[in-house]
Amino acid sequence: MVSEKEKMLAGELYDPADPELADERRRARELTRRFNATDETETETRESLVQELFGSTGEQPHVEPPFRCDYGYNIHVGNGFYANFDCVILDVCPVEMGRNCWLGPSVHVYTATHPLDAETRVQGPEYGKPVAMGDDVWVGGRAVITPGVTVGDGAVVAAGAVVTDDVPENTVVGGNPATVVEELDG
């Protein structure tokens, strides 16, 4: 029998009230609570907590509190990762971020989504779609990355953008919904 966690990770409809998933979310809340309560001088403690929370990290991941996520173990970041204040990552499916991926303040990354059909939606099932960001990506403050999006290497997401489609490498996107506003030299 397939577990609710296996369904979640596969991007299928799943029951978020499943006890195993509820326990894993509690674990993530506990780790983020401890992380968010650290003092700015506790850099080693912060790094250790991020490494315990995330599925994998490159060297010296830097996250500014406060930070929020659903599970943590679905977040994978490369060397040089930086997340500014108030970052939220809803990681019901994998969130892969390459090296030197920088998130500005209040960036939200969502893999979680809900059925469009109201009758199904109100019954409570959810599903997700993974998000991937390449190397050397910069996401400006208050931008939102929606489920299923891939952001190519060297791309820049302008502050406040709502990214609903894939972002080509070496481009700048902005607006709602985000569109390409500039091509960059690769």
Give the residue numbers marked as catalytic: 114
Q: What tokens does 132 get?
A: 């991937």
H or E stretch including 178? Answer: strand 178-183
Residue 172: alpha-carbon gap to chain centroid: 20
Residue identified by tokens 């939220």 is 88
Rounded CA-CA distance 28/48 in Å is 14
Residue identified by tokens 């993974």 is 130
3-state DSSP call for residue 48?
A: helix
Pairing of strands 144-145, 82-83: unpaired
